[in-house]
Amino acid sequence: MVEPRIEFVNHASVVVDDGQGTRLLTDPWLDGLVFNNGWALLSRSAFGPADFESITHIWISHEHPDHFHPATLKRIPEARRAQIVLLYQHAPDLAAAHEIKAFCAKLGFREFMELPAGQHVSVGANLEILCRPHMWGDSWCHLRLPRGPGGRPWSIFNANDCEWETPAAGAHVFAELGPVDVLMMQFSYACWYPDRAARRREADRLIERLVMMTEASEARFVIPFASFVRFCHEDNGHMNDEMNKVHRAAEAIESRTRARAVALYPGDVWTLGHDPAGAEALRRYGQDYAQVAGASLMRDNAGVPLDELERKLSAFWERHRTPDAAGSGPDLRLFLWDLQVAVEWCGTRLAVVAASEADCDIALASSSLAFLFDARWGIATLSVNARYRLPARSRLPSLSAIELAVVRALGRRDWLVAGSVSTAAYGSVPEP
């Protein structure tokens, strides 16, 4: 009998192997850029398309492309897709659930299983999964494997990007699940902050949260993950300055909790319960951090002309405006820094105005504005990839307030609720 083990793929992706033939892959993103060329992986993946041959199930936590990565899923050999079951949260009101399901159906996966929030479901003879929706369309999962410590099942908690702000919030989850043997937890920030001091505060908060969740879960082992990325565009490269390294996360776990840190490098395999022995992984990550610190940053080849932006805006307005929309809104003033022009956004019009960046509500590249118009989740992507600035005299205090102004002008409540299903944004896919 083979003991259960975890193989680290990259970032938020691992393979949980029950030792009896079931191999569950989580959130695979193998290579390439995500969030409109805003993020790159820190380290190269060892896992490749041929390695999907042994995968029986894939769990997707949420729609963000560092977790649901269409290009990776399309690289799975077609014959293998027909043998793999996709697992996703049961969230009928979530637009992403409909879109992801439609996309996976076109790719020809064996089954798209929506996991009920209130119970563990068997996936193979020796592995059970419980998946529960969280805030902002996210979800977490809890895995149980038989023959764990003391004869009880192994308990693995994958938090991915889920947020728990207080010990009480975390304790509520683990009061239901019981003690956790293995916790997988994010350890660094993943969106825009206005200055270096704010980024440092957030980096510190996330280490405190890692410690808090380790204690709340009573975890014996903690795998730091879902933070192995870098901001890779010239618009956002400065955001790397206070990112937590995995070394800081591992040190906090080892020195401030009773758990053992399990540092895994892409391709590393850890047998559950064995000595973590992560020194080599930390050494290799140290080399990668040093290498990317001097790496060149992405830049846009050319700006998007105003007439093209207005065409994209018109299509965006037609797709998303509801019969309940009132007025022309959202009455926003944008500074397009690559075009060095300010525009007023009212309905389907972008009118050039005489204004400096400091007098606009938001400043961004024309390519970022084009992406916002092309994708339903464009504003959320802007929040994560940090390719914008809020000028000194912005009338709105945050990107969330700007998003709310757009959503309200369209007559919508938010972007998360289910709407029409379109997989066009994920690229062309073969018919099943």
DSSP string, 249-298: HHHHHHHHSSSEE----TT-EEETTS----HHHHHHHHHHHHHHHTPPPB
Give the angle subtended at the CA of 119 by the CAs of 186 and 224, to the nearest 5°.
15
Taking alpha carbons only, the member of 280, 218, 292 closest to residue 41 is 292
What's the CATH number of domain 5-293, 1.10.10.10, 3.30.230.10, 3.40.50.300, 3.60.15.10?
A: 3.60.15.10
Model pLDDT, residue 430: 44
Taking alpha carbons only, the member of 90, 18, 78, 70 closest to residue 52 is 78
Q: Which helix (H) or strand (E) holds 15?
A: strand 13-17
Does the 306-409 domain belong in CATH 3.30.1050?
yes
Give the angle subtended at the CA of 105 by the CAs of 103 and 111, to the nearest 5°.
125
Place of tokens 């269409």: 70
- CA neighbours within 13 Å on the CB side: how many for 73? 30
Angstrom distance (rounded) from CA 176 to CA 153: 15
Instruction: Output the tens digit of pLDDT for each of the chain's 432 residues.
Output: 688 999 999 999 999 999 999 999 999 999 999 999 999 999 999 999 999 999 999 999 999 999 999 999 999 999 999 999 999 999 998 888 999 999 999 999 999 999 999 899 999 889 999 999 998 889 999 999 987 667 789 999 999 999 998 888 888 899 999 989 999 999 999 999 999 999 999 999 999 999 999 999 999 999 999 999 999 999 999 999 999 999 999 999 999 999 999 999 999 999 999 999 899 999 999 999 999 998 999 999 899 999 999 999 999 999 889 888 877 889 999 999 999 999 999 989 999 999 999 999 999 999 999 999 998 888 889 999 999 999 999 999 999 999 999 999 999 887 777 666 666 666 654 432
Rounded to an integer, what is the distance from CA 268 to the centroid of its chain?
A: 22
Domain ranges of the chain: 5-293, 306-409
Angstrom distance (rounded) from CA 183 to CA 177: 12
Sign of CA dihedral 228, 382, 240, 245: negative
Q: Which residues pair with 25 in a beta bridge?
A: 15, 58
Cβ proximity of 144 and 128 under 8 Å = yes
Model pLDDT, residue 129: 98
Q: Which amino acid is at 25?
A: L
- Could you give the C-alpha distances from 109 to 56, 85, 112, 338, in angstroms and in order? 11, 6, 7, 42
- Could you give the C-alpha distances from 76 to 17, 48, 50, 110, 169, in angstroms and in order? 19, 9, 8, 13, 38
Burial class (CB in 10 A: 0-12, 13-18, 19+), 327: exposed
Burial class (CB in 10 A: 0-12, 13-18, 19+), 314: middle
Model pLDDT, residue 130: 97
CA dihedral 192, 198, 200, 203 (to 10 degrees): -50
Angstrom distance (rounded) from CA 284 to CA 113: 37
| Residue 377: how many other CB atoms lie within 10 Å | 22
Angstrom distance (rounded) from CA 319 to CA 168: 42
- The two structure tokens encoding residue 303: 């700006």
Q: Which amino acid is at 303?
A: G
Cβ proximity of 415 and 94 under 8 Å = no
